[in-house]
């Protein structure tokens, strides 16, 4: 994105209006491919406790040379926001002209974080789930879960959603989405979810396993999306060890992703984890049998944020809808 015509400002409402699920899936798939081929890379993540307002604050940054996208997502978590009628997670994307370093766009990052995270698991389902998958299992029923369900549902001809959440009172959120998109819905136990689901998404803030290896049937694809910090965990490390493991970025998977626990215990080694971009690029076959369990460790990388923000900025510019400010 060039900055010749001044700074583009694309707010949250405009992002919602302009960036749909398919555009997010296309952008995320393309940048995962570029990351695996070395044409795009993420920079080290900064995340700090501010010691003020209980807030966590940080930066995720990267450069996609193939897509010509340079920028940073800045933001974090302010737990007191809900009381002020604001989202606890707050972020903004800054895009820069890769030729000059000038700021080219400011893009609201809250909605885009949810769609880019949902796009990530959706890309994994598109490439790794069995074609005949019929039952989608959801573990988690928070803010992200509805986005996850909508994007996943578009990847296979699912007939039914089975769901479990540690706080069952949150499950109506998923029941409502399932009904809206014409899928049956059933609230089930964790074991029953494993027994029925062909594809499972985990999207919780858990710090201990919620799904055990023995509960998962052969041929399942799992997208583990909640674990994005050291110490978090959603599934049994034995399940990670039993699965063929894919990720957005190996460096994050082994340190802050779901694979961290299996790596720490020595059950899995780093070279057993494949970037999903290698499958996208045709350099790895992905799933090789109907019985194989595949697991995508979606840790969330800055380049996903930049990819969808760049789509928002381009579409807003083309439609003449964004505000412009002089630099
Ligand atoms: P949310 O606060 O809206 O929902 C939290 C979910 O986790 C709910 O299902 C809740 O029941 C469950 N939960 C809360 N505390 C728990 C605990 N102690 N043990 C087990 N489950 C618990 O959050 P959200 O916005 O839906 O985000 C869900 C998770 O996804 C968070 O952990 C967040 O950090 C993570 N996330 C990951 C990415 C990524 O790119 N991988 C992106 C955004 C968010």
Q: Where are the chain's structural domains?
A: 7-113+303-325, 129-301
List 60, 73, 217, 230, catalytic entry: 73
Pocket probe for ligand 1: among 142, 148, 170, 230, the residue whose CB has the most ligand atoms within 8 Å is: 142
**Torsion angles phi and psi, residue 296, rounded to 5:** -105, 120
What are the CA-CA distances from residue 167 to residues 142, 152, 164, 277 (Å)?
9, 22, 9, 34
CB 170 near ligand 1, within 6 Å:
yes
3-state secondary structure 105-173: EEEECHHHHHHHHHHHHHHHHHHHCCCCCCEEEEECCCHHHHHHHHHHHCCCCCCEEEEECCCHHHCHH
User: Would you state the CATH architecture of domain 129-301?
Assistant: 3-Layer(aba) Sandwich (3.40)
pLDDT for 113:
97
CB 143 near ligand 1, within 6 Å:
yes
Could you confirm whether domain 7-113+303-325 is CATH 3.90.190.20? no
Burial class for 41, CB neighbours closer than 10 Å (0-12, 13-18, 19+): middle
Report how far residue 39's alpha carbon sits from residue 251's, in angstroms, rounded to the nearest whole number: 16
- Cβ neighbours around 180 below 10 Å, total: 12
Report how far residue 80's alpha carbon sits from residue 57's, in angstroms, rounded to the nearest whole number: 14
For residue 6, pLDDT over 90 is answered with no
Q: Where are the alpha helices (DSSP H) in the chain?
A: 12-18, 21-37, 110-128, 143-153, 172-180, 190-196, 237-242, 250-253, 260-264, 276-280, 302-318
CA triple 269-253-49, angle to 5 deg? 135
Largest Cα span, the chain: 59
Burial class for 56, CB neighbours closer than 10 Å (0-12, 13-18, 19+): middle
Pocket probe for ligand 1: among 58, 205, 208, the residue whose CB has the most ligand atoms within 8 Å is: 205
CB 285 near ligand 1, within 6 Å:
no
For residue 1, pLDDT over 80 is answered with no
User: Which positions ≥6 away from 139 have C-beta within 8 Å?
Assistant: 163, 164, 165, 190, 193, 200, 201, 202, 203, 204, 210, 211, 234
Among 105, 78, 80, which Cα is nearest to 1's? 105
230 given a catalytic annotation? no
Instruction: For residue 322, name the pLDDT band (cuts at 50, 70, 90).
Output: confident
Q: How high is the mean pLDDT of the chain?
A: 96
Pocket probe for ligand 1: among 90, 226, 234, the residue whose CB has the most ligand atoms within 8 Å is: 226
Q: Tens digit of pLDDT for each residue in 244-294?
A: 999 999 999 999 999 999 999 999 999 999 999 999 999 999 999 999 999
Q: Tens digit of pLDDT for each residue in 185-216?
A: 999 999 999 999 999 999 999 999 999 999 99
Ligand 1 centre and the CA of 145: distance in Å? 8
For residue 30, pLDDT over 80 is answered with yes
Report how far residue 2's alpha carbon sits from residue 145's, in angstroms, rounded to the nearest whole number: 35
CB 167 near ligand 1, within 6 Å:
yes
């Amino acid at each position: 994105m060039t900055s010749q015509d001044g700074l583009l400002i694309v707010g949250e409402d405009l992002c919602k209006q302009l960036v749909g699920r398919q555009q997010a899936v296309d952008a995320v798939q393309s940048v995962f491919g570029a990351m695996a081929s070395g044409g795009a890379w993420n920079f080290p993540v900064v995340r700090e406790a501010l010691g003020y307002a209980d807030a966590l604050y940080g930066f995720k940054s990267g450069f996609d040379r193939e897509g010509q996208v340079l920028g940073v997502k800045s933001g974090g978590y302010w737990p007191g926001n809900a009381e002020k009628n604001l989202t606890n997670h707050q972020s903004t994307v800054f895009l820069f002209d890769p030729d000059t370093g000038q700021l080219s766009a400011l893009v609201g990052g809250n909605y885009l974080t949810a769609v880019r995270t949902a796009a990530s698991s959706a890309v994994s389902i598109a490439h790794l789930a069995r074609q005949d998958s019929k039952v989608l299992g959801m573990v988690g029923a928070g803010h992200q879960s509805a986005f996850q369900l909508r994007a996943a549902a578009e990847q296979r001809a699912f007939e039914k959603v089975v769901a479990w959440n540690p706080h069952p009172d949150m499950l109506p959120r998923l029941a409502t989405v399932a009904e809206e998109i014409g899928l049956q819905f059933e609230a089930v136990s964790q074991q029953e979810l494993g027994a029925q689901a062909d594809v499972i998404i985990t999207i919780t803030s858990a710090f201990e396993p919620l799904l055990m290896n023995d509960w998962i049937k052969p041929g399942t694809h799992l997208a583990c999306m909640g674990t994005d910090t050291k110490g978090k965990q959603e599934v049994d490390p034995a399940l990670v060890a039993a699965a063929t493991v894919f990720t957005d970025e190996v460096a994050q998977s082994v340190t802050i992703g779901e694979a961290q626990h299996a790596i720490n215990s020595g059950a899995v080694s780093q070279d057993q984890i494949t970037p999903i971009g290698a499958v996208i690029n045709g350099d790895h076959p992905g799933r090789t049998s109907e019985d194989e369990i595949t697991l995508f460790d979606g840790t969330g990388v800055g380049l996903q944020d930049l990819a969808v923000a760049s789509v928002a900025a381009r579409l807003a510019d083309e439609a003449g809808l964004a505000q412009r400010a002089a630099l």
